Structure 1
Amino acid sequence: MDDFITCFILNCVAFEQCYGHCEKFVTDYTTFMGCLVNNPKDAGFLSDHKIIENYYGTDEEVTRFFEKVCKDVALDLGKSYLYKLIEDVNQYYWNDWHVKWAIFKNTYLNKPWSFMAALVAFILLVIQSFMAYFSYIHPPK
Structure 2
Amino acid sequence: MAESGITPCTWASLLEPNTETADRLRYASRSSAELTACGEEWDAVAVAPLSRGLAALDTLDVTPEDCFPVIADYHRQELIVLVPVGTANDGEEIQGVRALGRGAFLMVPRGELGTHNAAWLSSPTRFGGRYLGAAALRAAVKEADKARADGRALC
TM-score, scaled to structure 1: 0.27
Which protein is richer in helix relative to its size?
Answer: 1
Between Structure 1 and Structure 2, the one with more strand by share is: 2
Q: Which has the larger radius of gyration?
A: 1
TM-score (norm 2): 0.25
Structure with greater contact order relative to length (CA < 8 Å, sep ≥ 6): 2
